[in-house]
Amino acid sequence: MLEVRMLSGEVVARHTAQELEELGDVRRLKRHLNQFHGVGTRFRQRLFLHGEMLEDRVKLESSMDLNLVLLPLAEVSQSQADDLVAAAEWGSVAEVESMLQLPQDPDLLDSHGRAALIYASYEGHLENVHLLLEAGANKDVADDDGYTALGSASGEGHVEIVRLLLEAGAKKDVADGFGCTALNSASYAGHVETVRLLLEAGAEKDVAEIDGCTALVNASHAGHVAIVRLLLEGGAKKDVADGLGRTALKKASGAGHVEIVRLLLEAGAKKDVADVRGRTALTNASHAGHVEIVRLLLEAGAEKDVADVDGCTALIKASHAGQVEVVRLLLEGGAKKDAADTSGRTALKKASGAGHVEIVRLLLEAGAKKDVADVRGRTALTNASHAGHVEIVRLLLEAGAEKDVADVDGCTALIKASHAGQVEVVRLLLEGGAKKDAADTSGRTALKKASGAGHVEIVRLLLEAGAKKDVADVRGRTALTNASHAGHVEIIRLLLEAGAQTDVADVDGCTALIKASHAGQVEVVRLLLESGAEKDMADVDWSTALINASHAGQVEMVGLLLQAGAKKDVEGRGRSKALTNASLAGHFEIVRLLLEAGAEKDVADVDGCTTLINASHTGRVKSRWSACCCRLAPRRMWKAEASHAGHVEIVRLLLDAGAQKDVTVADGLGRSALTQASHAGNVEIVRLLLEAGARKDVADTSGRTELKNTHRPPHIRCHEQMWRMALGTALNNAFREGHAEIVRLLLEAGAVNGNSVGLVQQNAPATQRVLEAPPLQLSKVLTSREVAPRPAIARRRHPAFEPGTRVEYHDSLNGWIETEVVHFDANTGLYNLTCKPQVHPSKIRELVFSLGEEVQYLSQTLNIWVLARVVKIEHGYYILDIRPGGTTKDRLRRKHAQVVEPEGRLPRGCVSLPCSAFPNLEEEVQQLPLAARPGPVTPVATPVATPSATPVGTLCATPVHTLSGGFNLTPHAVPSAASFLLPLQSAQGPRKSSEANSDQSTNLSTPRDVCAPKFEHPINAEVDYWSLGQQIWLQTQVKGHNPDGTYCLTCHNAAPSERVRKSPEP
């Protein structure tokens, strides 16, 4: 007898020789111990004989006394758990056996939350499922999605695994994350044997998923007849609906499963249950055309006229879908023939619109109403006519359908068919007696719609039937007008042959000829002119056919109109004529035709511009300055440049024809052709006008207006005298816009008036540079500082300015602006600044002056250097605390700059005086307090001056070059100096008029004249002051003269002399 003892000596089991023969080997013994003696799984059991462990395949003998050891489950890593799941999924029995022998827990999940038993069941590996169940795996374990081993095996149809799991006691009704049980999965997938096993095991038959579908609904929808039979036999509920209200019968009916429908009907399923859209099983089957199912439902007594939420019945659905046999069954079953949906569409109307001839015949034979209109007023005949269903139209007409029913837009069947181009339908309707001249709510008849759409045959049919040719719509447009605008030549010929009126005007005054000329329809214009159409009629914009054709560039059409005797000088809107429009648009050939026909050349339009002036100004070429302001509209600029050549030829034509060259615009501005061409940058036109002898010095007033209100480009700011030199002339216009080539032409032609000779002489170097400059380089020629050429960038670059350095960046609009270096890219050689990235070094320079810095400012009035502080930098100008109007950098220098100054300019508040004016100067200096004494003063005649920030009230002993033996003094330094410098003591306000008058009368040889400022405008004089904020000249009055050379005005206490001018005569 074989005995099995624990190590403690406790006997676990005794087996006789006969029992051992049944067990056979160690493996079966272990299973027997686990099953009948409650010992752990065989993977945890270890049997020893005389101290040696027996393998599972060892045969058992009755003489054996075995010792049993139970091992605990081993602690394994996550990778070992992953390996067990993978081996179970792949079906590797040996690997699963080996890993379970550790012994390893079979319920450990892998890294993705999957259990070995679930995936062995899903893949159908029966042996692995056996091993895992033998190892004590949890039969109902679920993964993250709620799938169990039984649910996975049932969905895949693994019958033996399902049987094994059920025998092992797996739960049958566990639902996954979608609410799907094992029975639901097997029913939907069609696994009949699995369903039978589950039903025999007592699985719940009516569990609904999250969408409401039960096993019966799923099987019915999928068409699994055997499963539906099993479920019905098992007592499954027949009328359970899903979340959308669809029952098993409705789903089977829509899918066309005849046998399932029969089974459900035999089982007593409800026939008229409607879903959330109101559709029943009969509705679905009728729309899909399942004839047998429709027959079964009708035989079972299904309701035939149930309407869904759209009002559609089974008959309407079948008629629209073209299901002929279904319609026949429904009509035989007594379905309502004239039921309408929510839009008023009946079965006949839907079938007519869709072109189902047989269904229309069936409905008409069944007595359906022919003239029922929908909510838009459209009948079956209207729909069929618009769609071109000829046979249906014939059936309806033979059945006596009303031919002239109009919809809400007033359109009849004939109008619809004519607009759509349905020739045969139109013929049938005309033969049937349809009204030919019925109009819609906009007054458009069938003839008008066909004419506008270009349907020639329909127009011919309508004209032969006697349709009225000249009926106008609410806009006054006839069939001929529409056809002319669209260019339908054959239709126009038909209408003209039928006697249509050619000169009917619409509400805009447009005739057929005007419409055709505006649209560029040359052949139509020829036909109309041959028919005697009026050539010179104008629309409400006063535009004739000739004006329209000239503006559109229709050369052949213009030739036809001129040959027909059209008037050439009729004025359109804005007093523009055909020649004016052609010149503005650059149509050279049309201008030539009009001039040869004798068109007036010098008549001005409403703006006072003649044809020559318009042609000279249009087609302008943008300057560099103006082009940068037009970057937002490049297409418009390109278009203007493209038309430039055409305008040059037009100007040549006009000049050859004798057009007046020096006529000015009669708008009070006095613009001429030359000033306009100079402003627009038309070099060739300027050359033509100069060669033709046009006056070069005619000045308009627009330049003066623009001087007040226009922001000046950079190349003008440094040359104010050049700007004012030719104010209002062609030269000024070209200079202002930066057209260097035109400036050169005008200067070579002597375009300087008598009043400007002095200024020209003063600016001779600038003028010479203009003449020598290449074209389109005016901004470089006229700037005071030449821009250095861009240096060649080496392969490895080194920054000239380190990050954090304050520099100046040249902005194309604002000039030099202060900024800071953020980064230097050594690969590209470009700087990233705080104001802009990727800047070339040529646009960066060292910061000249920074905000808040104390500098020395050169006063041109006093001819001295004065201390000041930079408070703002704007558009390249430095705004100082003592000069709000701003100044340029060439009149500023560093506070402690060591420079050679031939004129001895001084710090703030200091003036230069000769020593002869103060004979007792040294004695007075010695009388000053010690703290205020500068030390020994030795008058030296030397050209070198070293200015310093001398405190007020002290003596600055700096020699002066121009005044031998002179000193630099501050106010109140010495008594004699204080009395001499009396005008400088009143810096807080204006001086008295008596002092100002005495200053003006003082001889220049006196010491006072060396330091006293000169004022052009006396006190109480009426002057103009230039406001930087408003950018305009303000009329004001001089209230006083300030010691620093500025004016005290009624609107400003310290106005610089550069911003004050004499008021022009009223």
Residue 632 is predicted with a pLDDT of 30
Angle at the Cα of 509 from the Cα atoms of 508 and 514, rounded to 5 degrees: 105
Contact 60, 26 (CB under 8 A): yes
Cα 31 to Cα 26: distance, rounded to the nearest angstrom: 9
Name the phi and psi angles at 985, rounded to 5.
-75, -20
**CB-neighbour burial class of residue 126 (10 A; exposed 0-12, middle 13-18, buried 19+):** middle
Cα 573 to Cα 38: distance, rounded to the nearest angstrom: 113
- Counts of helices then strands in the chain (DSSP H, E): 52, 20
Cα 59 to Cα 21: distance, rounded to the nearest angstrom: 9
Q: How many residues does the chain have?
A: 1066
Domain boundaries, the chain: 2-70, 344-439, 702-782, 806-847, 898-980, 993-1066
Cα 731 to Cα 711: distance, rounded to the nearest angstrom: 18
Cα 108 to Cα 938: distance, rounded to the nearest angstrom: 108
Q: Residues near 1063 by Cβ (< 8 Å), separated by ≥ 6?
A: 1022, 1023, 1024, 1035
| Residues β-bridged to residue 445 | 439
Instruction: Residue 740: name the closest of 780, 707, 688 by CA.
Output: 780
Contact 810, 843 (CB under 8 A): yes
Q: Which residue has the tokens 């098993």?
A: 248
2-70 and 993-1066: identical CATH topology: no
Residue 52 is predicted with a pLDDT of 87
Instruction: Residue 517: name the closest of 491, 494, 551, 563 by CA.
Output: 551
Residue 955 is predicted with a pLDDT of 34
Cα 879 to Cα 846: distance, rounded to the nearest angstrom: 19
SS3 at position 81: helix
Counting as low any pLDDT under 70, the low residues of the chain are 573-575, 605-608, 617-646, 665-670, 699-728, 752-798, 814, 847, 860-863, 875-876, 885, 889-890, 893-1013, 1028-1031, 1065-1066
How much is the pTM?
Answer: 0.62
Q: Residues near 179 by Cβ (< 8 Å), separated by ≥ 6?
A: 207, 208, 209, 210, 211
* CATH-assigned architecture of domain 344-439: Alpha Horseshoe (1.25)
For domain 993-1066, the question of CATH label 2.30.30.140 is answered with yes
CATH of range 2-70; options 1.10.3720.10, 3.10.20.90, 1.20.1260.10, 3.40.50.300: 3.10.20.90
Residue 317 is predicted with a pLDDT of 96
